[in-house]
Amino acid sequence: MSLTADLIAQIRAKPVADDDLTQAALFTLDAIACAYAGSATPVGKILRNWSAKAPRDDRRDAFLMGALTHITETDDLHRKSVTHPGCVVVPATLALGQRLGASPAQLLHAILQGFEAMCRVGAAVGPAHYRVWHNTATCGPFGSAMAAACLLQLNDSSTRDALGNAGTQASGFWEFMQSGAMSKHLHAGRAAESGLIAAELAAEGFTGPPEILEGKRGFFAAMCDDPVADNLLADAAAPWQLRLTSIKPWPSCRHTHPIIDCALELHGLLAGEPVQSIEIRTYQAALDVCDNPAPRSEYEAKFSLYHCAAVALLDGAVGLGSFDDTARTHTADLCARTRVEVVEPYRSSYPDAWGAEVRVETVSGQSLKVSRRDCRGDPELALSAAEMRAKAEGLLAFAGLGADDAARVCDAVLALPASESSPAMFSDFIATLDLPA
């Protein structure tokens, strides 16, 4: 037996409760709404123009939706694996499910299994992997392959082939951060597409390396300086990893979220008193990815601990309009008076907990601090179903859908656990992208 075979067996033996399917539908809605929002952005329009120049198929659709879902930085986040599973697993599942005519139950089971594989592989790569490799890109193909294997009803041997060939396609560097390039969206799209291709080939008898993870020239050996292989199969009786995944309430890098959460509380405590300086205390990965004191673009602002803290403190709210030129000008002076350091307990608690502390000194000399071990949207402080629907409706409105159309999308997706047949929400979504933007 290989680690891949053990993972497949463990996932397929895991029981599924009705509430698991309900949660899977909520995460599906979140991903669809993120994709709609992404389609309305300048980067989304580039992707739509590209897609319109060739005939559609399930692989192209999975790529397009995966890339779009990751654009607005509103998609979900699994902390222990440092991955965004929804932007990979949901597009691959819906694209293939549309072609196969899969039932709602089949779609939701596939999404649960895809999240499980992607998150467990991500938890096993070790912290050093994340310094160079984008975990969503490298671990994502395992998730999309597992979901596709479920829909294709592949046996364990063929599923092992699918995950083997998904792993050999793993790629995706953080280098795009240096210039603000658009590669991060390519990462999500390719991860969705790669796993789907691997599973479809496996269905034809195309073999893959059985020891892709632990082999001497496999995934861990090539890309992981400090893998934690035990995490792959640890705590088999835990809830589905989808249920351990966070939903983002704010449209920025998840590393900024505990800081936003703290700063929003401080905004209320300050009651309008001007801030002289900000001190942020956090963990190393947040600094590695979001140490940007003077962001030059909307995307860089979404990856700036400084801007996110300042805009939350100044405005008392963070939304899709909080990162544009006006917002960055608004926060520039306070960003320059912000200091960030890595300290305990946040350093060693990561990645199990993504916490932070924000301290402010006011112009009058008052000192205030707020800390978070977890923040809104984490499983410990989960958004309610009503809050998740409200988030989706906001993203759909950003994409230009009217209230009635947004309600129909939400109703259709949330009805999946009790439905006999799947609505055409995926084909309807793709149809809106067929023409050049």
User: Which residues, in sequence order, are CB contacts of 352 under 8 Å at separation 6+?
Assistant: 79, 80
Q: Do 146 and 283 belong to one domain? A: no
On the question of pLDDT at 435 being above 60, the answer is no
Q: Do 357 and 420 belong to one domain? A: no
Does a structural domain hold residue 437?
no
Burial 415-431 (b: 16+ CB within 10 A, else e): ebbebeebbebbeebbe
User: Which residues, in sequence order, are CB contacts of 72 under 8 Å at separation 6+?
Assistant: 34, 37, 38, 41, 251, 320, 395, 398
CATH number, domain with residue 412: 1.10.4100.10
Q: Residue 166 corresponds to which amino acid?
A: A
Does a structural domain hold residue 405?
yes
Q: Among 359, 375, 391, where does a domain finish?
A: 375
Q: Tell me how crowded residue 326 is: count the other CB atoms within 10 A of its CB.
A: 10
Please calculate the CA angle 118-123-127 and round it to the nearest 5 degrees.
130
On the question of pLDDT at 177 being above 80, the answer is yes
Q: Do 308 and 182 belong to one domain? A: no
Q: Do 75 and 213 belong to one domain? A: yes
Q: Do 110 and 245 belong to one domain? A: yes
Q: Do 358 and 266 belong to one domain? A: yes
pLDDT tens per residue across span 69-90: 999 999 999 999 999 999 999 9
User: What is the rounded CA–CA span in Å between residue 233 and residue 212?
Assistant: 15
pLDDT tens per residue across span 123-142: 999 999 999 999 999 999 99
Q: Do 369 and 229 belong to one domain? A: no
Q: Do 222 and 160 belong to one domain? A: yes
Q: What is the pLDDT of residue 423?
A: 73
Q: Which domain holds residue 319?
A: 254-375
When the pLDDT of each residue in the chain is averaged and rounded to a whole number, the result is 95
User: Which percentage of the chain shows pLDDT scores above 90?
Assistant: 92
On the question of pLDDT at 426 being above 80, the answer is no
User: Given pLDDT bands bounded at 50, 70 and 90, which one contains residue 436?
Assistant: very low
Q: Residue 71 corresponds to which amino acid?
A: I
Average pLDDT over residues 341-347: 97
Number of structural domains the chain divides into = 2
User: Given pLDDT bands bounded at 50, 70 and 90, which one contains residue 434?
Assistant: low
